[in-house]
Amino acid sequence: MRDATGAVQRVLVLGGNSDIAAAVVDRLGPRLVAVDLAVRAPEAAAARVAALTAAGIEARAIPYDADDPAAHERVLGQVDDVDLILLAFGTLGDPYDLEADTEQVARLASTNFVSGVAAAHASARHLARQGHGTLVVFSSVAGVRVRSEIAAYGAGKAGLDGFAQGLSDAVDGSGARVMIVRPGFVHTKMTDGLESAPMATTPERVAADVIDGLRKHKRVVWSPPLLRGVFSGLRVLPAPVWRRLNR
């Protein structure tokens, strides 16, 4: 439950090793009481748990396989009254081409879309039942106009983004809400080694935009904000022009 000033006190991170989610938690600051990190390998989050604990926050890592449909409800059943859920897992995969292994493409799309949808559904239902709280869904501008090189990833994010939009309407009036975050290229572990993109940003900058969005009760957050205007144009570019830009 938020404190008397409305500050977030309890956070659940689905994808607890996410650099962006970690930056959001750090921005929330000293008023935090508890942070639960749902991760595939809890031992990989040990240092993060120790750092949060040293800061006076109740922290733990909960085993979580996002690709297991039953895992979402299982994790939610282990957390107390939660103010904020960050849906932050996902996988970029290798650059897509027509020679890619079909099973690998299917697994990539399933994690980013099917597992994301299941996690979002379970989380929103949990928040609606408790009558308060915000679900932050990390989408991507990659889903606004899908590039061929990351087609499976972009399509998965496009689907998750669309589901989150509908979910936002579904929880309206319940006391819960859904906020969609659409970052551009972010320098994280997932993008390490990749060529940067125009208007590339950092986890800390995205976190600042997320906190601003929470404070202003935004439905959609673009990070950086200029990407909203850029993609308003890019999404309607004729296909031949779009292809030339992405060669």
96: annotated active-site residue: no
- The CA distance from 84 to 96, in Å, is 34
Residue 69: other Cβ atoms inside 10 A: 13
What distances in angstroms separate CA 246 from CA 6, 147, 149, one per listed residue? 44, 7, 9
Contact predicate 23/204, CB 8 Å: yes
Could you say which of 96, 113, 153, 185 is catalytic? 153
- The CA distance from 190 to 132, in Å, is 32
- The CA distance from 20 to 187, in Å, is 10
Active site residues: 153
